[in-house]
A = this chain, B = another copy of it.
Amino acid sequence: MTDSKGYSVTSLAELVVGTVIGDGDILIQRIANLDSADENEIAYVKTEKFFETAKASKASCLIVPREHPEFTKHTLIEVEHPKLAFSLIAATLHPAKKREPSIHSTASIADTADVALTAYLGPGVCVGNYSRVGTATRIEAGAVIGDNVVVGADCVIHPNVVLYDEVTIGDNVILHAGVCIGADGFGYVRDRMGYHKFPKIGTVVIEDEVELGAHTCVDRAALGRTRIGRGTKIDNMVHVGHNCDIGERVVIAAQTGISGSVVIEDDAVIGGQVGFGDHTRVQSGAVIGSKAGILPGKIVRPGVWWGIPVQPLAEYKKMNAHLGRLPQMRDEIRALRQEVEELKKAIEPKNK
C-alpha cells in the first residue's frame, strides 16, 4: 500500500482502454474519493448522480462513463465501467506489499518441505513435512502449515492462518488473518455412552484466485474433499462445513454458516449471516439475502431469495404486506360480525 511515484493519465488510461480528455501528462499518485481528493489524485464517477459532486472535486483526474456532461476543470478518462477502471488503476497505483524472498530465522521449516526460492516466510511460520510453497508466495508471521500441504504460487497467507495437514491451496489465493482450513468437520455417532467421532479423513481444496476473509473456517471432508472454486470470494468469519462444494465466482458475505455437504453452484451470491442446512443445493443464478435460513435438503433455484425459511423475494414481500394488513383484517372481521348479527336480527322477527 505504499504510494507510487506517479503514473501519467495517459498510461493509466491505456491500462483500462479509456479515452483521455484533457492533459494526459498529468502525474497521478493516489486514488481518492471525489470529495476528499486532492492534486495528483484520481477519483471515479459511478453514475450521473455524482456529476455535480465530481465537478466540485479537487481530483486531478476523473474516471467517467462514456456519457457525461462537460467537465471544464478536470482531465478525464472515459470508460465503459468507471468503478472497474478505478479498481484496476488502484491496483497499479497501490500495488500489494512486496516482500523480499527470505525465510525468517524463527520460522520452522521441515527438512522434507519444498519451499520456492522466491517465497517469503515470516517470523514463526511453520511448514510441515512434505509440504510445498509456490513461487513468490508470501506467508506472514505465525501462519502454521501442516504436513503434506500444497500452497500455490503468488499467494498471500496473512498472519496466524492455520492450514491443517493435506490441504491444497491454488495460485493467487489470499487468506486473511486467522483463516483456518482443514479442521475436522462436525460429525459424531451417538451410542449409549455418548458421541463417537465420525471419521474425517478427507481434505480441502481451495482453487486459484480465491480470497477468504479473516477467521473464515473451511472444514475438511469426512471422505473426499471440501472445495472452494476458482475466483470465489468469501468475507470474514464464514463457516464452511465438511464436504461442501462451493463453485466458481461465488460471493459469500460475512458470518454466513454452511452446514455439511452443501453445494453452491457457480456465480451464486450469498448475503451475510445466512444459514444453510446440510445437503442443500444453491443453483447458479440464485441470490440469497442476508440472514436467510435454508432448510436441510432444499434446492434454491435461480432468482432472489429471502427470509427464514427462504422464499422468493416477491413472495416474501407479499407475505410482509399481508402481515402489515393484519390489524385491518381483524377490524374487518369484527365489522362483519356485527353486521351479520344485525342482519340476523333484521330477519328474525319476520320468521316469528
Chain A residues with a Cβ under 8 A of chain B = 1, 30-33, 36, 81, 83-84, 86-88, 90-91, 94, 97, 104, 106, 108, 122-124, 126, 140-142, 144, 158-160, 162, 164-166, 174, 176-178, 180, 183-184, 186, 188-189, 191, 194-199, 201, 209, 211, 213-215, 217, 219, 223-224, 231, 233, 235-237, 239, 241, 248-249, 251, 253-255, 257, 259, 272-273, 275, 277, 290-291, 293, 308, 318-319, 322-323, 325-327, 329-330, 332-333, 336-337, 339-340, 343-344, 346-347, 350-351
Contacts and interface: CB of A to CB of B under 8 A. Distances in A.
Nearest to A344: B343
Taken together, the copies of this chain in the complex come to 3
A213 B219 CA distance: 10
Contacts of A191: 81, 84
A21 B128 CA distance: 42
28 contacts: A31-B223, A32-B223, A33-B223, A87-B196, A87-B198, A90-B198, A90-B201, A94-B199, A108-B124, A108-B141, A142-B162, A158-B162, A158-B164, A159-B162, A178-B215, A183-B214, A186-B254, A194-B231, A217-B237, A239-B254, A254-B257, A255-B275, A275-B291, A319-B323, A319-B326, A323-B326, A347-B347, A350-B350
A180 to B, nearest CB: 4
A38 B63 CA distance: 59
Given A108-B123, A160-B178, A176-B183, 19 more contacts: A1-B166, A84-B191, A87-B199, A91-B197, A94-B201, A144-B177, A177-B180, A178-B180, A184-B211, A186-B253, A194-B209, A194-B249, A195-B249, A197-B211, A237-B239, A259-B272, A273-B273, A322-B330, A343-B347
Contact of A336 (B33, B248, B333, B350): B333
Nearest to A252: B186
B239 A255 contact: yes
A235 B260 CA distance: 12
A205 B7 CA distance: 30
A90 B87 CA distance: 49
Interface centre among A140, A141, A253, A343 (most CB of B within 10 A): A141
